[in-house]
């Protein structure tokens, strides 16, 4: 049980640090004239991510869930996802945020993982919401929050892409990328 609590504590601290960074970036972006979108659904994103930890802890403790036999595989997937997260956040730099905040006419970031897919951080979050509970045998949490995340992203991604299309050259800059999986063939390949 101790490794579980250490892991979850580190994950919660990571999220809190990300919120501090996001708030700092938000302040800077708004000083540059940024506009915020998706305000109504943001509170539900925060609620979903907060409840993830509550439900995971509840399932783990209440049902005495054990480590999955596949935990090393899930841990490896988790570590790879974290590397992509760091790559994505560092590629966006001051433009990264947990909210949809866009500076009008800013150049769309096309470096790092954004060369290959439109939403690498959403991919990372989706992976985490699945593999973290699976690592600890919390199958109910894995299923529930994967479904909730799909529903949330079905609102979030269109709102974000609409905001970027309205205020930047988003389509021309990144329109040839898929949302989550890189294209395997160049558009000029037959």
pLDDT digits 0-9 by tens, 46-98: 999 999 999 999 999 999 999 999 999 999 999 999 999 999 999 999 999 99
Q: Is the pLDDT of residue 25 over 70?
A: yes
Average pLDDT on 30-56 reads 97
The span from the CA of 33 to the CA of 35, in Å, is 7
Please give the CATH number for the structural domain made up of 2-174. Answer: 1.20.120.1630
* Whether pLDDT at 184 is above 70: no
Domain definitions of the chain by residue range? 2-174
What mean pLDDT is reported for the chain? 94
Residue 190 pLDDT grade (very low, low, confident, very high; cuts 50, 70, 90)? very low
Q: In terms of pLDDT, which residue wins out, 52 or 180?
A: 52
pLDDT-derived band at 171, boundaries 50, 70, 90: confident
Q: How far apart are CA 75 and CA 116, in angstroms?
A: 24
pLDDT of amino acid 180: 84
pLDDT of residue 189: 46
Helix axes 71-92, 120-135, angle to 10 degrees: 160
Cα(45)–Cα(55) distance, integer angstroms: 15
In this structure, the strands spanning 35-37 and 100-102 are antiparallel
The two tokens of residue 58 are 């509840």
């Amino acid at each position: 049980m101790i490794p579980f609590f250490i892991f979850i504590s580190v994950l919660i601290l990571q999220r809190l640090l990300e919120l501090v960074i996001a708030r700092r970036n938000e302040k800077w972006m708004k000083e540059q004239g940024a506009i915020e979108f998706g305000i109504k659904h943001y509170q539900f994103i925060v609620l979903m991510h907060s409840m993830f930890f509550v439900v995971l802890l509840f399932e783990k403790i209440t049902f005495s869930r054990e480590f999955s036999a596949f935990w090393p595989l899930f841990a490896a997937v988790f570590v790879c996802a974290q590397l992509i997260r760091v790559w994505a956040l560092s590629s966006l730099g001051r433009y990264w945020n947990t909210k949809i905040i866009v500076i009008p006419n800013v150049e769309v970031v096309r470096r790092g993982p954004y060369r290959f897919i439109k939403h690498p951080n959403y991919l990372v979050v989706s992976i985490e919401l699945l593999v973290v509970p699976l690592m600890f045998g919390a199958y109910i949490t894995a299923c529930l929050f994967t479904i909730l995340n799909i529903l949330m992203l079905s609102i979030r991604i269109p709102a974000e892409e609409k905001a970027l299309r309205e205020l930047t050259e988003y389509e021309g800059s990144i329109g040839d990328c898929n949302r989550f999986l890189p294209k395997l063939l160049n558009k000029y390949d037959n």
